[in-house]
Amino acid sequence: MSAELSPIDKAKFVAARRAADYVEDGMRVGLGTGSTAAWLVRCLGEMVREDGLKFRGVPTSTRTAELAREVGIEVISLEEAKWLDLTIDGADEFDGELNLIKGGGGALLQEKIVATASDQMIVIADAAKEVHALGAFPLPVEVVPFGWTATRALVEETLVSMDVMGRETTLRMNGSQPFVTDEGNFILDLHLDRIGNPRQLAMVLNQMPGVVENGLFIDICDVVVVGHGDGRVELR
């Protein structure tokens, strides 16, 4: 499967392939969203079809649900699963404490709900996602469409008093229209450069009226499987 891949795709593939080995018969598994998570879903599909692996997957987006069904994975809802043994998902950034920025693909809300309803969360990432301090990747914040400009003003005002370097916010677009999440919300991307205190920022953002969830995953990830373009895999 990995023969003709570019180094970046190879890095994503080898991380996904290694993480797939954590899935055992009978498990209920959260399936992440994004290009790295798509590799995972394809690997797991192959293991279902060729090795007879039997597990049920809870997808974190309509995209992942479609792909999972396509490759032969049994898909159930989180309500049906009630609790998950494991979630495997990608990330946009991770730091030395395994805190994450997620939501580059716009699925952060379902991803955070699913990850926190799991005994274990494994992140799969190429080595470029590892950072000293979170924040170079714009932080996604999911907001309700009603009054989103007022919510943005509140967010920007609050950022002034926080330990962050930038404070520009942009509404994520899909062509000429706002990008709409699976839950019918908008996404504000916060261009912060460096987040000094991710835990505090995550708490402050979620207290604001209009904010549904933010892309900081604090104390949720247990292991990061890091893939390299030459095929090496490391665990953090």
- Provide the annotated binding site: 33-36, 89-92, 102-105, 129
> Would strands 223-227 and 233-235 be described as parallel, antiparallel, or unpaired?
antiparallel
- Identity of the amino acid at 80: E
Cβ at position 65, least distance to ligand 5RP in Å: 14
Q: Strand (E) positions, 71-197?
A: 74-75, 86-89, 93-94, 100-101, 121-126, 139-143, 168-171, 173-174, 177-178, 186-191
Whether the CB-CB separation of 169 and 152 falls below 8 Å is answered with yes
- Identity of the amino acid at 18: R
**Residues contacting ligand 5RP: total by CB under 6 A:** 18
In the bound state with ligand 5RP, the residue whose beta carbon lies nearer, of 91 and 159, is 91
Cβ at position 71, least distance to ligand 5RP in Å: 17
Q: Is 111 a catalytic residue?
A: yes
Cβ at position 110, least distance to ligand 5RP in Å: 9
Task: Name the active-site residue from 93, 97, 111, 142.
Answer: 111
Given 16, 23, 108, 205, the residue binding ligand 5RP (CB under 6 A): 108
Given 30, 59, 106, 135, the residue binding ligand 5RP (CB under 6 A): 106
Q: Strand (E) positions, the chain?
A: 28-31, 56-59, 74-75, 86-89, 93-94, 100-101, 121-126, 139-143, 168-171, 173-174, 177-178, 186-191, 211-214, 216-217, 223-227, 233-235
Alpha-carbon gap, residue 41 to 35, rounded angstroms: 10
Which residues are documented as binding site for substrate? 33-36, 89-92, 102-105, 129
Within residues 14-43, the interface with ligand 5RP by CB under 6 A covers 32-37
In the bound state with ligand 5RP, the residue whose beta carbon lies nearer, of 48 and 121, is 121
- Identity of the amino acid at 201: L
* Exposure b/e, 226-236, CB count within 10 A at least 16 = b: bbbbeeeeeee
In the bound state with ligand 5RP, the residue whose beta carbon lies nearer, of 73 and 221, is 221
Within residues 46-105, the interface with ligand 5RP by CB under 6 A covers 89-92, 102-105
In the bound state with ligand 5RP, the residue whose beta carbon lies nearer, of 45 and 106, is 106
Cβ at position 204, least distance to ligand 5RP in Å: 21
Residues that bind ligand 5RP (CB under 6 A): 32-37, 89-92, 102-108, 111
Catalytic (active-site) positions: 111
